[in-house]
Amino acid sequence: MKRSIVYIGFLLLSRTLSAQPSAHSAPPVKIKVSVDSQKIVIGQPIQLMVEAFVPDGTPLTWPVIDSLHHFEWLEKGALDSVVKPEERYYRQRFVITSFDSGSWAIPRLPFLSGKKKYFSDSVRIAVNYSPFDPNQDFHDIKDIIDVPNPYAKWVPWGVAAVTLIALALVIWLVRKKKLLRRAVATAPVVRLSAYEEAIRQLEELHKQGAGEDGQVKMYYTRLNDILRLFVLRRLGIASLVETNEELIGQIKRLPLTGGQFDELAETLRMADFVKFAKYQPAAADNERSYQVIRQSVDHLNEIGVAEEREEMARAATARARTAVAGTEEVKAEEKKNLEKK
């Protein structure tokens, strides 16, 4: 009976020893969570290190750490791994802090290796306020402290440079103004006649053309103004204060042929239609209006030349009559003097 009991105990012990892993079997999964300080003040950062040691070839699912109750994330490091002989090492570093006073625990983190789940140890962190000594004097808010400006020493030099530049600029402008005055004073003033000025302006307008629809009104306005100014300067007609109909009445008294007058009157009326009735003439009409104004300036200038010649002739006749009358008076005076003698 005793032998049977001993034999049964020996069998149980052998099975127990065979069930235990040998010294050469794979090491178990190890999870480690550590912090650099377990006592902090509110807002003080601490480092949280999560490490895992896994047998080589054994899969490991890392937990997703999105939030920790009573703690705030300051930095999340990347997950690193190191392969060692028969072992794989994982680690991830975090920087956290807390703004809640008290004693708070970092909870156990779940890891999955194969079909087995492993948990890390929880770590307790004491969060306190900054130490306060009631025996110390109360410190009020400090006044504003003047910070020295490192560029202050350059301010006088900058002001001096700006002053010199401004002074040089003023001198240059004054001298330039004097030179311009001298140039204007010495340059001969060339004044064009009324006819020459009108022809020059008409040629410039013709080069520009009537343009698009929005510029046709400006084109006819310029044609009309050039003619009005020419009539005022060349013939002395107050054309600038008259309407086109009144101007047509003034021009009708001038010695123009019937065809010349009709074309000019028609062109002036078309200018009114374009300016006030938004009439859009064709390109051929624009060219014809220009030619009529151009020829009218020539005709009116000839009339002005003829009037000047007549005026000069009348003046010469008057001077001749005055000379003759003066000669007769001199002869009569001499005759009287002789009779007295």
Q: Which of the listed residues 128, 157, 179 is the one where a domain comes to its end? A: 128
Q: In this structure, what CATH number is given to the domain that contains residue 57?
A: 2.60.40.10
**Structure confidence by residue, pLDDT tens digits, 8-55:** 555 555 555 444 444 445 568 889 999 998 999 998 999 999 998 888
Question: pLDDT, tens digit, for every residue of 234-283?
Answer: 888 888 888 989 889 888 888 888 898 999 999 999 989 888 888 888 88
> Tell me, what's the pLDDT at 226?
92
Co-location of 202 and 317 in the same domain: yes
Number of domains in the chain: 2
In a domain, 201, yes or no: yes
Look at 4-8, 42-46, 212-216, 330-334 and tell me which has the smallest mean pLDDT.
Answer: 4-8
User: Is residue 209 domain-shared with residue 303, that is, in the same domain?
Assistant: yes
119 lies in the same domain as 222? no
Examine the fold and report which residue of 100, 128, 156 is the final residue of a domain before the chain moves on. Answer: 128
Q: Where a domain ends, among 83, 108, 128?
A: 128
Give yes or no: residues 229 and 115 share one domain: no
- pLDDT single digits (tens) 59-102: 888 888 888 888 998 898 888 888 877 888 889 999 999 998 89
Of the listed ranges 81-85, 192-196, 330-334, the one predicted with least confidence: 330-334
In a domain, 120, yes or no: yes
Q: Answer whether residue 10 is part of any domain.
A: no
Q: Are residues 124 and 211 in the same domain?
A: no
| 298 and 224 housed in the same domain | yes
Its domain, for residue 298, covers: 194-327
Per residue, the 3-state secondary structure of the chain, as one string, reads CHHHHHHHHHHHHHHHHHHCCCCCCCCCCEEEEEECCCEEECCCCEEEEEEEEEECCCCCECCCCCCCCCCEEEEECCCEEEEECCEEEEEEEEEEECCCCEEEEECCCEEEECCEEEECCCEEEEEECCCCCCCCCCCCCCCCCCCCCCCHHHHHHHHHHHHHHHHHHHHHHHHHHHHHHHHHHHCCCCCCCHHHHHHHHHHHHHHHCCCCHHHHHHHHHHHHHHHHHHHHHHHCCCHHHCCHHHHHHHHHCCCCCHHHHHHHHHHHHHHHHHHHCCCCCCHHHHHHHHHHHHHHHHHHHHHHHHHHHHHHHHHHHHHHHHHHHHHHHHHHHHHHHHHHC
In a domain, 20, yes or no: no
Do the domain assignments include residue 240?
yes
Q: Is residue 182 part of a domain?
A: no
Closest listed residue to residue 124, CA positions, set 144, 102, 109, 139: 102
pTM above 0.75, yes or no: no
pLDDT digits (tens, 9 = 90+) for 126-155: 999 877 666 766 666 677 777 777 777 788
| Other Cβ atoms within 10 Å of 169 Cβ, number | 10
Average pLDDT of 152-173?
88
Residue 218 belongs to a domain: yes
CB burial of residue 267 (10 Å; 0-12, 13-18, 19+): buried
> Are 204 and 322 contained in the same domain?
yes
Is 143 part of a structural domain of the chain? Answer: no
